[in-house]
Each structure stands twice: as C-alpha cells, then as structure tokens.
Amino acid sequence: MTLNPGTPESTFRPDLLQGKHALITGGGSGINLGIAQSFAAHGCAVTILGRNLEKAQKAARGIVEAGGKALGVSADVRDFAALEAAVALATAEFGDFDIVLAGAAGNFPAPVDGISPNGFKTVVDIDLLGTYNTIKAASPRLKAPGGNVLSISAYGIPVPMQAHVVAAKAGVDMLTRTLAIEWGLRGIRVNAIIPGPIDGTEGMARLAPDEESRSQVAGSVPLGRMGIPQDIANAALFLVSDAASYLTGVILPVDGGQNMLGGAPQYQTFQAMGFGQKKG
C-alpha cells in the first residue's frame, strides 16, 4: 500500500504496525486521516470514527482500495454510549486495540468576549471530555501490556482568540501526563502531539484560504514552511512504535518550532483574517 499521495517515502519499515489495530477518532479528514493512512500503510488495521458515518466510511474505503484494512464507524465523542457501541463494532471486526488515537476536535477563532457560554462549553466538551470519553470507552479493549494512547493536543501556549481551545487542550495535556503515570505499570504508554499549521487540512483552508495568508503562516514558522499531514503521521508512527518504548507522558510539538515564538504570530494571522472584529 502506498503512503498519502504527494508525500515522501516512509522512513519506517513497511511492517512496523503489522497485525495491530488502531481506533482513530476524527479520522475522516485532515491530520487524523493522514495518520490513519500512514498507520494502514505500515500494516495496521484502522477503525475510523467520526460524527458523520458517510465521511468515516469514505475514508475507510479509500484505505481499503489502497490495499489496507479499515472500517468506518460513527459516534459523537460527546456521547459516551455511542462511543461504547462504536468500540464494540470495531473490536468485533479487528479485535482489541493496540492503539487509541483521540484526534476528534472542534475549533473556531473567537475572542473571549465574542463567544457564548455554550460556545466555550461546546469546544471543551468535544476537545477535553471527548478525549476522556474516547480513552475511557476504549480502555477495556486496549491491550495491556503493549497498548498506546495518543491524543492530538494544540498549541501548548496561550493563544488569543483560542482561549476555549487552549483551556480544553491544557486539560488534554494533563490527562495525558496523569494517565501515563497511572497506566505505566500496565505497560500502556500515553502521549500527545501538538501539531503546528498543517497544509491540506480543513482548519488551514479556513485560516489561510489564499496565497498571501498561506505565505504569512509559513513565514511565522522558524523552519519556514507549513507542515504536511505526513509530518504529524511520522511523529505518530514513532510514538506508537517500539522505538519509543521508554517514552511516556510526552506532549510533543510537531510544528517547525512555531510554539517557541509564543502566541503572537497566530494572533496576527487571526487578526489579518478579520476574526473577532465587530460587524457593522
């Protein structure tokens, strides 16, 4: 099976995840789909979970057509019972999980003044509670020893117009580090990735829809470019592989160094895009 079209050949051996099974929430598109495709390209059966069944099944079909093993299932990560039902479907198809990847997230740029209590709650419910729900619902079927939990976090720094997101993701980071301690002796490693600006994702299409904003975003990254989904998938492959077997509780930024500059570059991009401005 080939990797994502247009991405470099893999550094990792093709059978790195042979015989394994990963649950990937939010796997229907973007970064999480890139991870699902890469895991499948390295021998892993993937269950792609999304709110929209059609989208999850389409993503799974693409992987199967490329020679991998995949199943699409639907659940809203805010709904614990729906997650439990999806876990039952996934494990009936491919057996217990070796990897649980909590990637589903919700986001929009808005200043604290411009977001309602329900808007704030919605993002915390999806990003933080949704991550907890995913890990909790899948944990009875996560292999121990040998299991891996991986969450997709964000930023790791304060970012204006993202208070709801950074607050929720700070919770994800502490959940990750705490679970890493609680589950260490079970032989389950628990880590997270903080992606930088990744080209070809829905979020980036919204934030940088034209060439000017794209080059502005690229210019805000010390390495001088936006990332591609394969950059995140490579980090995910490493973190769930035996090469990382002495590594747990790590929150790994994969962002070309952008977080070292603080929240200002991101804020300037949001302002240039007109987010948070009062209309009329």
Selected from 22, 40, 49, 110, the binder of ligand COA by CB under 6 A is 110
Report the nearest approach of ligand COA to the CB of residue 109 (Å): 7
φ, ψ for residue 268 (rounded to 5)?
A: -60, -40
For residue 139, state whether it binds ligand COA (rule: CB under 6 A).
Answer: no
Grouping H, G, I as helix, E, B as strand and the rest as coil, residue 111 is: coil
Asked if 139 is an active-site residue, the reply is no
For residue 106, state whether it binds ligand COA (rule: CB under 6 A).
Answer: yes
Asked if 69 is an active-site residue, the reply is no
Nearer to ligand COA, 60 or 115 (CB): 115
Angle between helices 80-94 and 130-138 (to 10 degrees): 40
Q: Which of residues 65-104 bind ligand COA (CB under 6 A)?
A: none
**Token representation of residue 220:** 């805000």
Q: What is the DSSP letter of 96?
A: S
- Amino acid of residue 156: G
Report the nearest approach of ligand COA to the CB of residue 51 (Å): 8
For residue 116, state whether it binds ligand COA (rule: CB under 6 A).
Answer: yes
Selected from 115, 124, 161, 180, the binder of ligand COA by CB under 6 A is 115
φ, ψ for residue 114 (rounded to 5)?
A: -105, 15
Selected from 4, 10, 122, 271, the binder of ligand COA by CB under 6 A is 122
- Other Cβ atoms within 10 Å of 120 Cβ, number: 17
CA separation for the pair 97, 91 (Å, rounded): 7
Nearer to ligand COA, 13 or 206 (CB): 206
| C-alpha distance from residue 43 to each of 21, 49, 66, 249 (Å) | 9, 19, 12, 26
Q: What is the DSSP letter of 10?
A: P
Q: What is the DSSP letter of 4?
A: S
Strand partners, 22: 46, 99
For residue 277, state whether it binds ligand COA (rule: CB under 6 A).
Answer: no
Q: How many amino acids of this chain bind ligand COA (CB under 6 A)?
A: 15
State the catalytic residue, choosing from 38, 153, 220, 279: 153
Selected from 25, 47, 107, 258, the binder of ligand COA by CB under 6 A is 107
For residue 105, state whether it binds ligand COA (rule: CB under 6 A).
Answer: yes
Q: Which of residues 168-207 bind ligand COA (CB under 6 A)?
A: 202-203
CA separation for the pair 176, 239 (Å, rounded): 13
Which positions are annotated as active-site residues? 153, 169
Residues that bind ligand COA (CB under 6 A): 105-108, 110, 114-116, 118-119, 122-123, 126, 202-203
